[in-house]
Amino acid sequence: METHYNNLNDKLDKLQLKQHGTKQSKDHQQRYKFHPRTVNLTKINFTHEEWSLLNNGLQHNIEKPLDKYWTDLVMETEQAIRMLEPKIQSPFRILAAKRLKQIKTSSSHHNATAKGQTYILRNINTKLRKEDAMITRADKGKTCVIIYNKDYTNKVHDFLDNNNFHKLPKDPTDKYQKNIIQTLKTCNLIIPTRQQKFLILKKPSPPSLNALIKIHKPDNPIRPVVNNKRAPTYKIAKLLVNKLHEHLHLKYTYNAKDSISLANDLTKLEINEHHRMITFDIKDLYVNIPITETLAITKQLLS
């Protein structure tokens, strides 16, 4: 088992060396400009160490000191070994003890790194609280955006005002919940009765809105992202999407599966000097789809 993983690690190391050592990779980086890892829209000054930690991204995980998880690591390792066949448990204990000893030996370096990053992170949070700022995500790439809380709130309100949103006098979540329960009772042919109770969300709440900053556009507007996981219709919507994919067979003639397939298709095109490539961006596509017409078309296709 250890030999198998060592071989895999060797292959990964060779691939990484091959990728970083070729001239093509360097030319690629010089030719194409990617989004920066961190964009600062405030006047807060960060040190080189703080900026390096911010550039690790929002998903960067600071490793905990070994003494905080060492006991759990040993116990979980022993528990995993006991699930194997008795005749191979002893060899795996030897391999595990060897690996745990290596982790113990190298723990001092990791602990120092973790303590240093924790200290830097504490300084970053102190600066953000002092200046009333926050860190959020950008619309494109995995970029971190540092922005004042006031500016973030203003961008959200500008979006709501410019798109004719109105505040409701009362939260309609309970009303929608009752309508869904009543509707499910009349859908026995589509949704079995025994399955309906699993589609009713307990204690639903209104969807929350998160704003992603569009750093690639003037004035950095927002892209709204709505989290529907606690909405009354979340579970039943997932079920209907699967049923539509199962029964509604559409010809995706002009659709691209992803950016890789699009790039492959473009390389096969025969383009001369008389051709022009044009892209169109539809503003607020999904909220402008006519619901009544879409339901009528879907019903016709299913029939």
**Banded model confidence at residue 120, pLDDT cuts 50, 70, 90:** very high
Specify the range with the lowest mean pLDDT, choosing from 100-114, 144-158, 173-187, 249-263: 100-114
According to the model, what pLDDT value does residue 257 have?
83
Name, in order, each residue with C-beta under 8 angstroms of 187's C-beta and a sequence gap of 6 or more: 196
Average pLDDT, the chain: 84
Rounded Cα gap, residues 39 and 57, in angstroms: 11
pLDDT of residue 49: 92
Residue spans of the domains in the chain: they are 33-132
Alpha-carbon torsion angle 173, 178, 181, 183, nearest 10 = -100
The pLDDT confidence band at residue 153, using thresholds 50, 70 and 90, is very high
Q: Could you give the CA distance from residue 205 to residue 203 in angstroms, rounded to a whole number?
A: 7
CB within 8 Å of 216: residues ≥ 6 apart = 35, 139, 140
Residue 270 · residue 217 · CB < 8 Å? no
pLDDT the model gives residue 33:
61
Torsion of Cα atoms, 17 then 21 then 24 then 26, to 10°: 110
Residues 6+ apart with CB under 8 A from 215: 35, 39, 138, 139, 140, 143, 145
- Residue 212 phi/psi, 5-degree rounding, is -100, 135
**pLDDT tens-digit profile of 165-218?**
888 999 999 999 999 999 998 888 888 888 888 999 889 999 999 999 999 888
Average pLDDT, integer, range 4-33 = 57
Residue 141 carries which side chain, given as an amino acid letter? G
Higher-confidence position of 253 and 300: 300
Query: Strand 144-148 to strand 38-40: parallel, antiparallel, or no bridges (unpaired)?
Result: parallel
252-298 pLDDT, tens digit per residue, is 778 888 888 888 888 888 888 898 888 888 877 777 889 999 999 99
Higher pLDDT, 277 or 19: 277
Specify whether the CB–CB gap between 42 and 133 falls below 8 A.
yes
Q: Quick check: 74 pLDDT over 90?
A: no
pLDDT single digits (tens) 210-241: 999 999 888 999 999 999 999 999 999 999 89
